[in-house]
Amino acid sequence: MFPIFKNKRRALAVLIGLALLITAGVLTAGGQFDPPAGDDWISASVADLQHRLDQSTNPAEQDLLQDKLNRLNHIQQTRQEAGVQSLPPQPEELCPALSQAVETPAQREEGVLLLEEHDYEDLDLMADNGWQGWVNGNWVRVLAGRSPATAGGKLLVFTENVGFQGFDLPAPLRIESASGSRLVLSDADGAAYYFDVAARQFLAAPDEIVPTLPPLPTFTPQPSRCP
Amino acid sequence: MKIYFLRLTVARQGFILIPLLITLLASIAGSAAGQDAPPPPTPTATSSNAVQSTTALFLPLISTWQPPPAPPYASSIYIQNPTRDALYNLGCSQGSRDRNLPGRQDNLIVLAFGKMWLVNGEYTVRTFSNPSSGLRANLTFTDLENRARDYILGYVFCSDGESLLTLAIGVNNYDDMNVDNDVHRFSSNQGTLRSTAYAFGQRFADLAQRLNAWSAQNGYIGRVWTMGAINIEWAGPECNRDRTYCAYWWNTPYVTRGWVDGFNANSERVQTFFNFGACVGCPTTPNPNWQYHTAMPWNQAEVYYVSWGAPPALPLPQIYRNDGYLARQWQAVSLYGDLYLGGAISFPGVMTQYQACQQRRTSDPTCETLDNTPEEGWTQLMNELNRNNNTAQSALRWVTDIRWQIR
């Protein structure tokens, strides 16, 4: 016998340790999601609500559960009646046509913009005004304003088919003018700021020379899978 | 030799016992205690209600509740570029995924179109900003219907012929719906806001009804069911640049209930909707005295109503916080319902935002702690619900992870 097992306490400790290790392994073993056939959400929910309804003694709960159960039963019944039919051919008249352009040619005018829409809360911007134009072969739109979250300033630069960049600023700015792709902005106190759209950066002085960004990758439109 | 009798209470959700192990260890422990254990210490003075014991038995009772594996997630979308072609392709992508997975899938997908918006008196939904163009689109309900149809067509014709799709057409309760035609100020007219939200809710119920009728006419109803959806949230006030004007930009429960009641009124006791919001600032225990703020008086009863208490309402809580706090908040809402209202909630699923965080990780620092994977979000809610018999549920059938359409 190994010396360690001569002492019953030690042997007990080792045994317990081993048992715990094995048990932990068994208990933490995962598996794959494998619902039984017919166990879609509607079926599962109907069964769950019916069980709760059968157990409930609260009239308010019973009414609520019955109403929800009726709605889910309707879905389940509709699905079952329809079954999994073979699909009809894709209707041509409903097939999406070419992408409906959001922009119109008139919106392609270059220069400083007076915005009709200011709310870009999903990008944390309440815009004041903007600028748009062609920069190195890309259509670019710049929006300036404030951040609703911080009440500081914010500048967003949108490059068509590429995406946007955000610049957080100490104070809200407004675009005053543009020279080529260089923007002159000002804050509430009238202090001037300069932003080079081609370089996507603020400048220390209006005549500062900064490198232009390398060319952006060519955009390849996603083909429609609709015949 | 002493014989020990153990009485074990079994939780409703079940747990795993190792009876043989216990028996074995009990006999060994008993034997060891009888032969080698030191004598119990001499009792010292104790208070009258202290429990006195001269024998201690330690058994490694191992109890755990392990949730079943999470179901595969489907991708919900924040819509930024609502062309018909793009919607068709989104549906086709989901259908192609199902075609490539074994067996029949059962998807829940929310198309989150943006916020409710009046344009010259017309009811529209204002989509999220297109990160490519810096533009937003205002879609009429006819536009929404066509986009939803395009998504459904893309799904059914790229899918496997047997998988199921529940499609929820969604909006949020942010902003004043442009009732005052002034984007810089939030309308203070709660009555107008409520009646406008009510009218929007009616239109969403009508939209779901029309889409289901169209699916039935065209042979898709066995696979596709359409619902409404609303992302109900709230937050603190936002101020203008010189802080001369501050306002809450999410809607109050009074206004938001308008949407819910409007949907219910036109639901024909058939249509349903999801609340896919967060329970912002909610406590993690039932608390009838809690409310978010006097100016934004959301409380657990209101959250319960818009998520479950209203007949067509179903909850699809966002469980994206890594520490599990959001799951505890929603479990508390359910328990609140059990204690004070019409019973606990049955959650059909959860929503996470892992993909959205992957898309905006560099620009959104909050994602560092708010990027639960779908499996993590699902597991957190499942565990919290099953922590209490009164909120326990054996199945949490859906998990959907939201992402931006573009980035």
**What is this structure's pTM?**
0.82
B25–A15 C-beta distance less than 8 A: yes
Answer whether residue B230 shows pLDDT above 90: yes
DSSP characters over A93-140: GGS--SPPPSS-GGGG--EEE--S--EEGGGTEEEEEEEEEEETTEEE
Q: How far is A169 from chain B (nearest CA, A)?
A: 12
pLDDT at A200: 95
E strand or H helix at A165: strand A163-169
pLDDT at residue number B283: 98
Strongest mean pLDDT among B25-39, B81-95, B318-332: B318-332
Pairwise CA distance, residues B26 & B4, whole Å: 8
Q: How far apart are CA A6 and CA A163, in angstroms?
A: 72
Q: How far is B290 from chain A (nearest CA, A)?
A: 23
Cβ pair A49:B219 closer than 8 A: no
Is the ipTM above a cut-off of 0.85? Answer: no
Residue A33 has pLDDT above 70, yes or no: no
Q: Above 80 in pLDDT, residue B319?
A: yes
Judged by DSSP in three states, A74 sits in helix
3-state per-residue secondary structure call for chain B: CCCCCCCCCCCCCCCCCCHHHHHHHHHHHHHHHHHCCCCCCCCCCCCCCCCCCCCCCCCCCCCCCCCCCCCCCEEEEECCCCCHHHHHHHHHHHHHHHHHCCCCCEEEEEEEEEEEEEECCEEEEECCCCCCCCCCCEEEHHHHHHHHHHHHHHHHHHCCCCCEEEEEEEEECECCCCCCCCCCCCCCCHHHHHHHHHHHHHHHHHHHHHHHHHHHHHCCCCCEEEEEEEECCCCCCEECCCCCCEECCECCHHHHHHHHHHHHHCCCCCCCEEECCCCCCCCCCCCCCCCCECCECCCHHHHHHHHHHCCCEEECCECCCCCCHHHHHHHHHHHHHHHHCCCCCCCCEEEECHHHHHHHCCCCHHHHCCCCCHHHHHHHHHHHHCCCCCCCCCCCCEEEEEEECCC
* Lowest mean pLDDT, pick from B52-61, B119-128, B277-286: B52-61
pLDDT at position B48? 34
Give how far B114 is from chain A: nearest CA, Å.
9
pLDDT in tens, A134-145: 999 899 999 999
* Cα-based torsion angle of the residue sequence A37, A43, A47, A48 in order, rounded to the nearest 10 degrees: 110
Taking only residues 191 to 210 of chain B, the set having a beta carbon closer than 8 angstroms to any beta carbon of chain A reads none
Average pLDDT of the residues in B242-259: 92
- B23 and chain A in contact, CB less than 8 A: no
Q: Which B residues, 224 through 283, put their C-beta within 8 Å of a C-beta on chain A?
A: 225, 238-243, 249, 267, 269-272
For the segment B220-234, the average pLDDT, to the nearest whole number, is 97
What is the structure's pLDDT at A24? 60
Query: B162 and A162 in contact by Cβ < 8 A?
Result: no
Asked if A130 lies within 8 A of B223 by C-beta distance, the reply is: no
- Whether the CB-CB separation of B81 and A160 falls below 8 Å is answered with no
Query: Per-residue pLDDT tens for B155-197?
Result: 999 999 899 999 999 999 999 999 999 988 999 999 999 999 9
Q: Using CB atoms, which residue from A52, A78, A103 is nearest to B135?
A: A103
Contact A94/B158, CB-based, under 8 Å?
no
Residues above pLDDT 70, as percent of chain A: 74
Under the banding of pLDDT at 50, 70 and 90, the label for residue B239 is confident
Find the closest chain A residue to B248 by CA distance: A148
Question: Cβ–Cβ of A79/B221 closer than 8 Å?
Answer: yes
Kindly indicate the confidence band of residue A220, based on its pLDDT and cuts at 50, 70 and 90: low
Going by C-alpha positions, the residue among B255, B178, B168, B172 that lies closest to residue B205 is B168
Task: Please state, in angstroms and rounded to a whole number, the distance separating the CA atoms of residues B338 and B394.
Answer: 17
Contact with chain A for residue B220, Cβ under 8 A: yes
Question: Does residue B56 register a pLDDT over 70?
Answer: no
Residue B53 has pLDDT above 90, yes or no: no
Contacts of A119 in chain B (CB under 8 A): 126, 136, 175, 183
Nearest to A94 among B70, B149, B272 (CB): B149
pLDDT at residue B41, as a whole number: 39
Q: Which of B114, B131, B397 sits opposite A158 (nearest CB)?
A: B131
Predicted pLDDT of residue B244: 83
Phi, psi of A223 (to 5 degrees): -70, 150
- Counting every residue written for chain A, the total comes to 227
Tell me the nearest-neighbour CA distance from A60 into chain B, angstroms: 5
Contacts of A120 in chain B (CB under 8 A): 129, 134, 136
Work out the pLDDT band at B335, boundaries 50, 70, 90. very high
Of A52-61, A78-87, A110-119, B329-338, the range with the highest mean pLDDT is B329-338
- Quick check: A9 and B62 CB within 8 A? no
What is residue B50's predicted lDDT score, i.e. its pLDDT?
33
On whether any CB of chain B is under 8 Å from the CB of A167, the answer is: no
Chain A residues in contact with B308 by the CB 8 A cut-off are: 64
How big is the CA angle at B93 (ends B91 and B97), to the nearest 5 degrees? Answer: 120
Name the residue of chain A whose CA is nearest to B106's CA.
A40
Average pLDDT estimate for B19-23: 44
- Please give, rounded to a whole number of angstroms, the shortest distance from the CA of B148 to a CA of chain A: 11
Cβ contacts (< 8 Å) between B64 and chain A: which residues? Answer: 27
Please name the residue of chain B whose CA is at the shortest distance from the CA of residue A55. Answer: B343
Burial track B323-345 (b if 16+ CB lie within 10 A, e otherwise): ebebbbbbbbbbbbbbeebbbbb
Pair B374, B319: CB distance under 8 Å? no
Kindly state whether B312 is in contact with chain A, defined as any CB-CB distance less than 8 angstroms: yes
Q: Which residue has the higher pLDDT, A82 or B405?
A: B405
Averaged over B262-278, what is the pLDDT? Answer: 98
Task: Among B128, B225, B238, select the one facing A148 at the smallest CB separation.
Answer: B238
Contacts with B, A 98-137, CB within 8 Å: 98-103, 117-123, 126, 130
A77 touches chain B (CB under 8 A): no
Q: What burial class does residue A17 get, using C-beta atoms within 10 Å of its C-beta: 0-12 exposed, 13-18 middle, 19+ buried? A: exposed
Tell me whether residues B221 and A82 touch, CB distance under 8 A. Answer: yes
